[in-house]
Amino acid sequence: MKSTSPKKPTYIVYAPSYNANNGGCIFLHQLVHNLNNMGERALLWPMQPIRMSKFKRYLNVKKEPDKSFKLSPDLNTAIAEKKDLNDNTIVVYPEIVKGNPLNVKNVVRWLLYKPGVMHPFEFGKDEMFFKVDELCEDIEITGGAQDLFLWKVNPCYKNHKRPNRKGSCYIVRKGKEKQLVHDLDDSIKIDGKSHKEIAEIFNRCEVFYSYDEATMYSQYAAVCGCTSIVIPGMYKSREDWIANHDLAKFGVAYGLDDIAHAKETQNKVIDLLLERERAGVKTVASFIETTKEKFGFQ
């Protein structure tokens, strides 16, 4: 007698090599880790780096996994093989991947940033959309994406309560089109530095300026006791910004006239991050349920 149990899908997450300094990369690897820990079967498919030409950004795609691909030793992850691509596969692509390079029929698109802002995009008509937060949403494209986030607090960020803080530090990242408005004299640029180096800088600087409006470093600066300021540009007001990025509702100033709020609520940041970390696990459980329903695995 044949079993009537539904087939179990294999989740394949299309991701770059693990990089502890890249939030989007961490999310993609964390998703595989959490899916496996929840009893699902999940694997990573190595994504090639995005190349730059004079005229456009483009993505090199290989049909076979790259065995030099880096995994995190702290995560429950493994690399997929070509045989894992079949009708029982659900592939998860970040928004920067154009089209469906693995040619899998069940496609999830995970919006880690707003489509089209950093890279051109190309989505299929039958894709299922998930978003990290409202900042990544474009309802005209998605029709309304579901939440899927995996904020993870890096334990190296702590307030050492050192006296005599002085100077500033800053990050550019996705804010590279903005004019640098703070005093650059002796200001330390943290782009490209390790978490350990950045945590040390946050603990000796008085102020942190972020030209990127959606980086976790704004929260980490606050956790370390550094006055955290985001340089505005994408939104007209703090209220609009928070509506799209509620992780920053405490401890972070949106503009130079919002510093009092950042200082007054700085002590609330770590509890908010831990709360969001717990909530993220629930979004993965919902992701499992809704993807299985959508693609006929229930």
The answer to whether residues 207 and 69 belong to one domain is no
The answer to whether residues 231 and 254 belong to one domain is yes
**CA–CA gap between residue 160 and residue 13 (Å, rounded):** 37
The answer to whether residues 30 and 177 belong to one domain is no
> pTM for the complete prediction?
0.77
pLDDT at 48: 72
Is 5 part of a structural domain of the chain?
Answer: no
pLDDT at 1: 44
* DSSP class per residue in 2-70: ---PPPPPEEEEEEPSP-TT-HHHHHHHHHHHHHHHTT-EEEEEEPPPEEE-SS-EEE---SS--TT--
Tell me how many domains the chain contains.
Answer: 2
Is 188 part of a structural domain of the chain?
Answer: yes
The answer to whether residues 112 and 206 belong to one domain is no
pLDDT at 55: 45
The answer to whether residues 136 and 16 belong to one domain is yes
Is 50 part of a structural domain of the chain?
Answer: yes
Which structure tokens are listed for 269?
């940041």
The answer to whether residues 188 and 258 belong to one domain is yes
The answer to whether residues 94 and 18 belong to one domain is yes
Is 119 part of a structural domain of the chain?
Answer: yes
Helix (H) or strand (E) holding 195: helix 195-202
* Site of tokens 């070509």: 82
The answer to whether residues 89 and 235 belong to one domain is no
The answer to whether residues 122 and 18 belong to one domain is yes
The answer to whether residues 142 and 220 belong to one domain is no
The stretches in the chain having pLDDT less than 70 are 1-6, 49-67, 116-119
143: domain range? 10-150+277-294
The answer to whether residues 172 and 93 belong to one domain is no
Is 232 part of a structural domain of the chain?
Answer: yes
CATH code for the domain in which residue 134 is found: 3.40.50
Is 1 part of a structural domain of the chain?
Answer: no
Give the CA radius of gyration of the chain: 20
The answer to whether residues 54 and 89 belong to one domain is yes
